[in-house]
Every structure is written in C-alpha cells, then in structure tokens.
Amino acid sequence: MYLETLLQNLPDYYTGLDRELLTRAYQFAEKAHHDQKRVSGEPYISHCVAVATILAEMKVPPDAVIAGLLHDTVEDTSVTLDDIRKNFSDEIAKMVDGVTKLTNLPRVSRGDQHIEDNLNGSSTADSENGDTAYNEQGQKSRKRDLASETLRKTFLAMGDDIRIVLIKLADRLHNMRTLNYMPEVKRKRIAKETLDIFAPLANRLGIWQMKWELEDLGFRYTNPEKYKEIATQLNERRVDREEQIQKTLRNLKQVIEAAGIKVEITGRPKHIYSIYKKMQEKGRSFEMVMDLRAVRLIVPDIPSCYAALGVIHTKWRPIPHEFDDYIAAPKDNFYQSLHTAVIYDDGKPLEVQIRTSEMHQNAEYGIAAHWRYKEGRKRDDEFEQRINWLRRLMDWRKDVDDASEFIDGMKTDVFQDRVYVFTPKGDIIDLPSGSTPLDFAYHVHTEIGHRCRGAKINGKLVTLDFRLKTGDQVEILTAKQGGPSRDWLNTNLGLVNTQRSRAKIKQWFKKQDWEQNVAQGKVQIDRELRRLGLESIDANHLSQEYEYKNVDDFYEAIGCGDLSLGRVIARISDLTKGKEEDILAPHPATDTKSTSDSVTVLGLKGMLTSVARCCNPVPGDDIIGYITRGRGATIHRQDCPNILRLKGDSERIVKVSWGEVRNTTPVAVEVKAYDRQGLLGDISNILNNESINLSDISLKNNHNIVLIKMVLEVNDLVQLSRVLTRIESLQNVMEVHRLRPG
C-alpha cells in the first residue's frame, strides 16, 4: 500500500530503472524498520514513505528520494552507512549520513559528578544526597548540545549538497504533521525549534510551500489558543469570503483580458501564522489586516506583468506605500513578483501579486525548482548562483567549532532578513537585518573592521551599536593602527551582531599572546562573577563543566572570544534551576493589586486598557473589554451587571485575556558614577527596554560622586548580567555590581 502511494507520486521523468531502485530501497527500509512503530501506532515505514513522497512531489532526483526512504535506517536500526554504500551508492550514503542524528558528542560532559560539585567545588562524597534536579538539568543541557551538534552537521553538509537539507526539511514537515501524538512538552519544544530554525530555512531556500505549512503547524502547537481563535474567525466567514473572491476573480479576468493580456487568476491562500504576524507587527485587528483578501495573477512574460499592473492601477486607486517591485529588485532568496494593493469597487483593500509561471514555480519550490526544469543552461546557471550565494552567507562556518554558536550564527547571518546599505562610493552592501557599523566594516574588509573607531550614517556620527536600515549610507572612521576591543564580543552590548564579524574578531585575539588571553579571560570571568555576587562559584569546576583540560584553557577560551561570558552565565543559570535561591535570593512577595498591565486585547497590540472599578477583576477572572472613547478598553468581569447591560452594543465589545504572569526576583544593585545631568534617565531607558520593574531606589551624592542603590525585578541571571553590562557602559558610570545581603 505504502509503496503504491509513493510510485504514484513520482515525477514523469523518472525512468523504469529509477522506479526499480526505489522499490528496492523501499524493501530495504521496510525490512530494517519491520518491528518498529511510530508513537501514533502506525508502522515506522509509513514515515519513511511520507518523507520520500514529499521529496517526490518537489521533483528532486531519484537519489534524494531513495535517501529520504533510508534516512532513519542508520539512526534507528542496525543498518550501517557501509551497508547503504554496498547496496546503493556512496552519494546516497552521504545524504543519509548528512541527516542522521549524532548519538553522542565528540566531547561529552562529565556525568560522574553532581552539578553542585562542578560549580561550588563541594566533595563528591556528598553526592548521594545531591539534588536530582541538577542531574536532570545536566541531562537537558547535554541533549541540547547534542541537538545543536546534529543541526550543525546537517548545515555544514548543506554547503556541499543542497539535497541533504531538503531531506531534513521533508522529515521535519512530516513530523510536524503528526506532532499531535507526542507529549505536550515535546510538542512545544519541537514546534518552537521549527519556527526558529526550519521555517526560516525553508524561507531562505525560497520554498514557500514548505515555509507556510511549517509556520502554521509550529504556531498551532506553540500558541494553540491564538491559532484556534484566528482559524475559527477564518472559518466563520469562509462561505461569504469565497463567494466574494470568485466575483472579484471574474471581474479582474475580464478587465485584464480586455486589455489583450492572457492571464490565469487565483485567490491567494491565507495562512494563519502570516495573519497573526501581520496583526502583531501592525497592531491591527483581524478585520483590518490588509491581505485577508488577495489574488494572484499569472501572466506569460515580464512585459505582461507590468502591463497588467498598469491596467489594475488605471482601473482602481493604488494604496500608498503598498507597492513592491520584486522583479526589478528580487528578494535575497531570489523571489520575484510584483506586489500592489488597491481600493476595490466595494471600498475595501485588495492585494494583488503579479508574476510569470516560472516566477511562480520558483516562489513555490525555491531552490528545488532547479529539478523541475530539465532543459536549458539558464536554469543551471541560476541554480549555481543560488548555491554560491548560500555558501557566501555561510563563509564563516568553518571558523566556528561550538555547535550552539553555529546555530546562533545561522539564525543571525542566514535566516534573518537582509538590509541593503551604501558605501560612500555608492556600492551596495548586503547585510543581515540588525547589523551594526562594525558588521559593515568587517564585511568590507577585515582590516577596516579591526581599525574601526567610529561611523557616520548619512553624514551624521552615530554610536557603534546603531542598527543599519536599508538605504543608509555608511562611512567608517578608522585609526591608522590598532585592533578590536574585547567589548565588541560582549553580546550584552550589541556592538557586533553577525557571526562573520565575530569570527574575524576571535581570529585576531587568537593570534595574540597565549598568556595575555589567559590573563584577560581570568579578569573577565572574575569581574563578571563578582559583579553578579557569584564569588562562591569555583572557576576550576566551571572549566570541567565545559570539558576543558585545565582552568587556563578555560580562561584562554574566554580571553580570545571562543567562549562568551553570556554563555557561561546562561549555563550557570541553567544548571542551578531548582536551587535558584542560592543565585537570586527571593524577597517576600509584595501585595498584588489588579492592574491592566498584563491584559491583551485581541488583535490590538499596545491598546490602552484600564480596570473597571465596578467589578475590579483580578488575574484568573473571566474578563471582557468595552471600548470607551478616549480611554481605550475598560476591562470588566464577564458577569459584571454593567457589562451585561451593555452587551447589546456588540460593536464596542472586544475579546481580552490576561497576559502571561512573569515570575521575577527582586535584586539589589549599586551603581557608582560621576554625577551628570540625564544619568537616571539613561538608566531608566535601559530598564524600560528590558521590561524590568524598578521597585526601590535611593541616591547619595558626595563630592560629585553619586551612589545609586536600586532594587530591580529580573527574570534570571542572564537578564541581570545583560542589564548590568549596559548600565556600566553608560557615560560617567565607573562600576555596577549586585549587593548581597549583609
């Protein structure tokens, strides 16, 4: 049954020999997995066939579909890569190896000691009484490392053979389609990873079909309530909307064909996650999201695209700032189309996409569209261009040994959207979104990056943490000699945001004297632990946690930037969960009052809310909102007599919900600085950007030296470290540290 399904979905260009090989691969996989079941109870071979079918529908070559059938044999059965080489080919074995999970790390963390022994240097003789929570945290940490190493292995292989990552995406897509059989904790973790890594990867490869399905499935499990809410609203109006779209399609077709342009018109499908993102980004309600009604025009050639655009703009009024020409200026993933939005006959917006058939194939299948066209050199040249572009995006990959850092680099340098900025001579530089002047400098030339001391954006001096925007003209101010600052690698300061720049800075420090790096690393870690009030933590045992041979190697890794302070603090925070009172001592709980701060109004991000005095709702109550002129939404209990009387006025009733309750810990902090005007305002801005509540503050001024004592309500050690670093980087601030009791 499974084999017949697969054979029916194979592309027409597969030969009889290809089909015979696929049948043999199916029999091989079925035998290997014969006694295995999925969590759903289905035979395991059903997953292998589903992955191969997804690949076949993309019309990839037979070898990739065979590798899709065999992708779990080495990982989950007694089959080895040598068996696959003997029975099939080296090429298929390489693809299977590329998607096979690692079962152990090249350098596995020590499992024979409790975490508290590692951090505080206590005797292993006490291990029998150790808290099992530490072992669990250590296990979780090792599992995360293993997952990151596996992804790193796949992404490195992707640079050599793009088919490997297509198999990985197909594998993830089928796993997401059947995720409802998994336990809830696992569902959320896998869904979050899908939204963070796999959906952006499909987008970067231009495979729209996979991108939207991965996003919708990921959203369904990470935010089930919001997913259901939007899905219900879409379903409620489906019949009316479809009837309305059909009328629009007929009208558009008539108008375009009357102008002598051959056209195929379809309604563009709506994806729940994209609707949600637009509601969040633009702060609009469901009804106001611009592209809830959208159509796609497929025309024969590029001149017809612009001719159709002219017809539409002549007939209906275009909406300002809603036109994008991705034909003349394709997106960075090679996507091409014309996008516009007009006010239609009924006075409501209509979004229109116009493209050729070839552009449509590229948009749906992205890099995989290469195999959908078997003839013509042009297609091959474009494919090579895409592969080279991907390799350029990942040209830092060989310099990063740490898997977690590698995955972070993929997120910043490969998955992020791009910004396009200009050099003073007018050359265009393509950088990841969120890049700074330092990232620009290192992109232009390594030496310019090393000697960068300032920057001008559009002729004005800016700080080095300035975020570049598309269209900015960037001029780098350099010193005649010198090198980078170690502060540039401090992730809390946000001075460098691309992996490419970080790799070059680290290379520079690695070339410095070994003893100098050790000394610098010791100073950095000692200062950070002292500032956070963690002097009791033993650096020797911390180095063992990271599997360094000795503490000097640990210091050297920090000194040259191989191991960031942020990651060390995150690891300490991670490993001490369950014994958090040793790290962040909680204060007595303060009296809580009902406020509207944590209330979310459906689809209206940032809307002013206030608690109704008549019923005074508190978190946990069923609530509803009533729009009041000039005062935003007033929050009532659903059983409030006043709101029951107003329910006839349904247009002003809105759905609301309590936001997430954050568990924060009050921490006392002292700031020592030379007094200046605006200092408290700058500190307040940092706290506001971090969403940290300031629950107490006192100030003493002595001979122009000011001591500020504050109590900050922080989420964890990582946030505390970040905010202290940012405050210390302010002008006139000498030092910032945490105050310990006594």
Q: Angle at Cα 694 formed by Cα 688 and Cα 699, nearest 5°? A: 115
- For 677-723, the three-class secondary structure string (H helix, E strand, C coil) is CCHHHHHHHHHHHCCCEEEEEEEEEECCEEEEEEEEEECCHHHHHHH
* Three-class SS state of 533: coil
Residue 502: exposure state from Cβ atoms within 10 A (0-12, 13-18, ≥19): buried
- For 340-390, the three-class secondary structure string (H helix, E strand, C coil) is EEEECCCCCEEEEEEEEHHHHHHHHHHHHHHHHCCCCHHHHHHHHHHHHHH
Are residues 530 and 506 in contact, defined by beta-carbon separation less than 8 angstroms?
no
Partners of residue 462 on adjacent β-strands: 455
DSSP label at residue 43: B
Are residues 195 and 427 in contact, defined by beta-carbon separation less than 8 angstroms?
no
Are residues 364 and 209 in contact, defined by beta-carbon separation less than 8 angstroms?
yes
Euclidean distance between CA atoms 250 and 684, whole angstroms = 57
Residues 6+ apart with CB under 8 A from 706: 671, 672, 673, 674, 675, 679, 699, 700
Q: Angle at Cα 18 formed by Cα 15 and Cα 23, nearest 5°? A: 130
DSSP label at residue 413: I
Tally of CA atoms within 13 A in the half-sphere of 421 that contains its CB: 27
Among the listed residues 42, 57, 75, 332, the single catalytic one is: 75
Q: Give the tokens for residue 344.
A: 């239609």
* Nearest partner of 573 among 691, 690, 722, judged by Cα: 722
H/E element holding 188?
A: helix 184-193
Are residues 625 and 611 in contact, defined by beta-carbon separation less than 8 angstroms?
no
Q: Give the tokens for residue 367.
A: 């890099």
Q: Where are the beta strands (DSSP E) in 242-331?
A: 264-267, 294-299, 317-318, 324-325
Partners of residue 623 on adjacent β-strands: 637
* Nearest partner of 562 among 520, 509, 522, 519, judged by Cα: 509
DSSP label at residue 560: T
* Residue 75 appears among annotated catalytic residues: yes
Radius of gyration of the chain (CA): 29
Partners of residue 111 on adjacent β-strands: none
DSSP label at residue 597: T
691 φ/ψ sector (left φ>0, alpha ψ -120 to 50, else beta)? left
Q: Angle at Cα 358 formed by Cα 357 and Cα 360, nearest 5°? A: 65
* Residue 76 appears among annotated catalytic residues: yes
Q: Where are the beta strands (DSSP E) in 376-434?
A: 418-422, 428-432
Among the listed residues 76, 91, 382, 538, the single catalytic one is: 76
Residues 6+ apart with CB under 8 A from 537: 119, 120, 529, 572
The H helix count followed by the E strand count for the chain is 30, 21
Partners of residue 354 on adjacent β-strands: 297, 338
Euclidean distance between CA atoms 20 and 40, whole angstroms = 30
Residues 6+ apart with CB under 8 A from 58: 166, 170, 207, 365, 368, 371
Residue 329: exposure state from Cβ atoms within 10 A (0-12, 13-18, ≥19): exposed
Q: Which residues are catalytic?
A: 75-76
